[in-house]
Amino acid sequence: MGTKRIRTLIVDDSAVVRKVLTERLSQDPEIEVVGSAMDPYVARDKIRELNPDVLTLDIEMPRMDGLTFLRILMKHHPLPVIVISSLTKEGSSKSLEALQAGAVDVLPKSGGSFSVCLDTAVLAEMIKAAAHARLHPNALPSAAPAGRTMQASSSPGATAVARRYRPRQIILMGASTGGTEALREILTRLPADVPGICIVQHIPPVFSLAFAERLNQLCQFQVREAKHADLVQPGLALVAPGGYHMVLKWDGTHHRVELNQGPMVHHQRPAVDMLFSSAARAVSSAHALAVLCTGMGSDGAAGMKELRDAGAETVAQNEETCVVFGMPREAIRNGSAQYVLPLETIATHINSYASRMAQVGLVPISR
């Protein structure tokens, strides 16, 4: 007997999109398109009838929008969902809401709501990853209160006891499928006085800006999309822009990030391995903490091995709390993961690491 094919239901109000996606996805021997639906009401009946393994969901539909349907679905019939959204600022914002509501991944499309301008090969890989995803809807409590308890002072701009760091001190983070929510859970639990943070999340262009802006609203420190030659400094997290690799360079006194559109690595740009490998060359052995979170594939494992061999501290998210246990699993397999931790304790580990590495003194804390 062959491998069971992944039963997939396509939900889109465009008959053209449904037809094209059905034809293209059906060419993959691992995927079986069992049906399609023109709106959430038809989709509800098709889910009951066909029992799909994975759902693709257009976020912009009449009668009921995809985001509303997703929230209802995750409450009453949790199912791996890949959201398809427009490459606009509004589409990016809705996509992040969908990921927070429980969607496994998001795929952008250019053009209008009836466009078929999306990468069906990428969609097929997303469907395969989603079929093995662990759903953790609302699994963790709100992180903001925990983060606030760590802050040295709640008065904006006030002088307070805060941690200072050597210029080489840095925190590196990488994630893919399920990573936007995992990173949110970690970062919102950290205090304002953290070392500089560099983040690679597999995410499309435009979406990365919305992701950084959303984190900036939630975190105690500044978060923004990285620009070429940005200085890495305490109290700042830089998110790699979609479509660009982000690498670290030491300029003699500080770390700076460089962005490039070099070849994809592990079919990704940005790639975690590019950041981690560059850091292994730029960072003194005892001055980096690398964290690898949920995601399909193996991106980040090789770079983490370079960091570990150079003496950096390394953390991989454990299988039980990953949406997709691919990247962390490979880091564990190659021996580069010094610690394997559940998602809810990673922020505590990072904060403890920062305290161990810090020099305490009286300095202003400002957002």
Cis peptide before 270 (omega within 30 of 0): yes
DSSP 164-176: E--TT-EEEEEE-
Q: Pick the catalytic residue from 105, 230, 273, 299.
A: 299
Q: Pick the catalytic residue from 86, 176, 277, 336.
A: 176
Examine the residue annotation and report whether 349 is marked as an active-site residue of this protein.
Answer: no
Examine the residue annotation and report whether 176 is marked as an active-site residue of this protein.
Answer: yes
The token duo for 235 is: 């109290």
Task: Report d(CA 244, CA 174) in Å as an integer.
Answer: 14
DSSP 286-336: TSEEEEE-SBSS-TTHHHHHHHHHTT-EEEEE-GGG-SSBSHHHHHHHTT-
Q: Pick the catalytic residue from 53, 58, 193, 202.
A: 202
Cross-strand pairs, 268: 265
Examine the residue annotation and report whether 202 is marked as an active-site residue of this protein.
Answer: yes
Note whether 76 and 44 are within 8 A (CB). Answer: no
Tokens 């990365």 belong to: 208
CA dihedral 194, 201, 107, 302 (to 10 degrees): -160
Residues designated as active site: 176, 202, 299
